[in-house]
A = this chain, B = another copy of it.
Amino acid sequence: MDRKPLVLVVEDEKDIARFIELELAAEGYQTEVAFDGVTGLSKFREVNPDLLILDLMLPVLDGLEVARRVRKTSNTPIIILTAKDSISDKVEGLDAGADDYLIKPFSIEELLARVRAHLRRVNPAVTGEVRVADLVMNLDGREVFRGGRRVELSAKEFELLELLARNPGKVFSRFEIEEKVWPEYTGGSNVVDVYIGYLRRKLEESGERRLIHTVRGVGYVLREE
């Protein structure tokens, strides 16, 4: 999760593809390139990138169709980059599952800014922040805010919250949590429960919505309700 973000560029004009690739590399991203729709789709499945930059007019398989198929199984942000500049093309592209739509000729600075904006949402490594609902965790600074209010956490509390907040909506069993946050311990106690209690007391002061939910018989999950 904290490796360099990987961007896949699917673009049949090789000059443009190369240009984008170089600029992305200069920003510190890993890159992959494909020159037609079918190769793009299979490469997508192979490398599972953090973001996809997609031309619409592609040989073999249309870009729109690529977007739709990617969306069937993946949540990865898609930026469409194309010369087709009509409003209806834009609407169609966005409704096919794309997250952004940029017209050629484009400014590379704008493209890079948009790439940053989308990656920021998906990949905490980019900003060093994790955000869920009104909870903000600054991983570098080890700061936590709930709805603007600063919350002081101890080291273990922070680790536990980080695990949950990086995977919002996923239910973790006590065993999973213990393995990750208390790797040195052999279990047999209720540390996890106790620390969940600590977090709740600090994060869910009277009147605030519940963030950490108990799933009886299974474990705990952090999610907005």
| A186 at the B interface (CB under 8 A) | no
Pick from B91, B97, B117, B217: contact of A110, CB below 8 A.
B91
Are A142 and B171 in touch, CB under 8 angstroms? Answer: yes
A121-B121, A155-B218 in contact; A169/B140 too (CB < 8 A)?
Answer: yes
Are A136 and B72 in touch, CB under 8 angstroms? Answer: yes
Leading 4 A-B pairs by shortest Cβ distance: A155-B217, A75-B131, A94-B113, A73-B148
| A147 at the B interface (CB under 8 A) | yes
Query: A156: which B residues are within 8 A, CB to CB?
Result: 217
Q: Using a Cβ–Cβ cut-off of 8 Å, how many residues does chain A contribute to the interface with B?
A: 58
| A90 at the B interface (CB under 8 A) | yes
Interface of A: prevailing SS: mixed
Give the distance in Å from the alpha carbon of A20 to the alpha carbon of B120 in the complex: 27
Are A75 and B116 in touch, CB under 8 angstroms? Answer: no
| A43 at the B interface (CB under 8 A) | no
**Least Cβ distance of A102 to chain B in Å?**
11
Query: A97: which B residues are within 8 A, CB to CB?
Result: 120
**Least Cβ distance of A93 to chain B in Å?**
8
Pick from B73, B88, B132: contact of A147, CB below 8 A.
B73
